Amino acid sequence: MDKARVTIVGGGIGGLTAAIALAQNGFSATVLEVAPAFGEVGAGLTLAPNAMKAYLALDMADAVAQAGVEPARQRIQHWEDGRVLRVLERGDMRQIYGAPYVYIHRADLHAILVTEARRRGVRLESDAGVVAVEGACAVLHDGRRIEGDILIGADGVKSVVRRAFDPAPPHFTGHVAWRAVVPVTGDLADLVSWPGMHIGPRRMVVRYPVRGGTMMNTVFFARQSGWTEDGWSIRADRSELDGVFTGWAPEVQAMIAAVPADGLYKWAINARQPLPGWILDDRVALLGDAAHGMTPFLGQGAACAVEDAIVLARALSASASVAEGLKRYEAARLERATFIQLESNANADRMQADETELFGLQALRNEDSLGLFHYDCRTVPV
């Protein structure tokens, strides 16, 4: 196919990775981002080996790994007494899967992606909120129309592009998360050297290092009703955590005590039901959370988005027409993404069950044991 003009709605991790992959394959890519500037929220992100293979495909894996932290192991601990229920080895990921397991600050990854996209000639437009899609034409909030041959909706869980497929808004999953990135001082140094999580009935607390171990990403999950908004602007007070995590282990109390007074944000977890298809009019397709927004309980949402990105570029590149390329993309990705979406939900129940004691005795069913790390977006048939 002649190299087509691709408009990507959404300059998040999925959209930018897709733009870089498309540019690498000779396509002309434009990214439209609603925010006034390209940037990411102040939180951590796990890039499992299957995600890092996307950055190997783009010759960016070293840069991403160097900006992150590669853990040797993780531990899963009992909510109340801190007893170690399981240890997960992570130091051998490069040998087993051919790619590292990386913790990274989202803003650091995003900055690397923006620099690389610019270097490869991707057109990046901020303050470019898309309000409607007409064929492969994106209509912006100021009335401008951006014409292209292909339009990719990478605009997140609340995707405007997805409305053309499914008018339903995302659903609130019943899970909420409080998130903070805290400076590592005192006792936290020991805690962050052992990344992992405390699990308990209907709650879970995750910790891991970012920025060379100088900062610790913390996420406090609970099931709760009362707010359904996600967004980095919803401030929370530390006292909310005190109430929800009363009686949890001393390490969790130390994490709560370390949260800066003005640095805690709360986030309702919204997700999507799987769609039967991601293509419209042979010219429009969905990618990332817009296609398969999922709960974060396998740490695979962004991983799925960047896998989509590489497979999309490969499928288009290998095809004689746009319609064929999009079909091959969907055929290669739909089943895997849907499986991960459903398993992510199931993992919430496994990790936050009433009988925490039983967790260490049961067969492990997580992203690693499910075989998700083996997937290789560089070689999977398209």
Ligand X SMILES: Cc1cc2nc3c(=O)[nH]c(=O)nc-3n(C[C@H](O)[C@H](O)[C@H](O)COP(=O)(O)OP(=O)(O)OC[C@H]3O[C@@H](n4cnc5c(N)ncnc54)[C@H](O)[C@@H]3O)c2cc1C
Binding pattern for the stretch 24-63 against ligand X, x by CB under 6 A and - elsewhere: --------xxxx---------xx----x------------
Spatial distance between the Cα atoms of 24 and 39, rounded to a whole number of angstroms: 22
Please identify, using beta-carbon distances, which residue of 308 and 363 lies nearer to ligand X.
308
Percentages helix, strand, coil for the chain (3-state, rounded to 5) are 35, 25, 40
Q: Which two tokens stand for residue 214?
A: 């100088």
Q: What residues are paired with 172 via a beta bridge?
A: 270
Q: Residue 250, Cβ neighbours under 10 Å: how many?
A: 10
Closest contact distance (angstroms) between CB of 233 and ligand X is 12
Identify whether 208 is a catalytic site residue.
yes
Smallest distance, ligand X to C-beta of residue 339, A: 15
The minimum distance between CB 358 and ligand X, in angstroms, equals: 25
Q: Does 303 bind ligand X (CB under 6 A)?
A: yes
Phi and psi torsions of 371, nearest 5°: 85, 10
The reply on whether position 289 binds ligand X by CB under 6 A is: yes
Q: Which residues pair with 291 in a beta bridge?
A: none
302, 311, 348, 377: which one binds ligand X (CB under 6 A): 302
Binding test (CB under 6 A) with ligand X, winner from 236, 305, 311, 351: 305
SS3 251: helix
Site size for ligand X (CB under 6 A): 34
As a whole number of angstroms, the distance between CA 18 and CA 241 comes to 37
CA angle 55, 177, 156 (to 5 degrees): 45
Site string for ligand X, 163-192 (x = CB under 6 A): --------------x-x-------------
Quote the tokens at residue 279. 């293509």
Contacts with ligand X, residue ranges (CB under 6 A) = 9-15, 32-35, 45-46, 51, 129-130, 154-156, 160, 177, 179, 219, 267, 269, 288-289, 296, 299-303, 305
The catalytic residue positions are 208
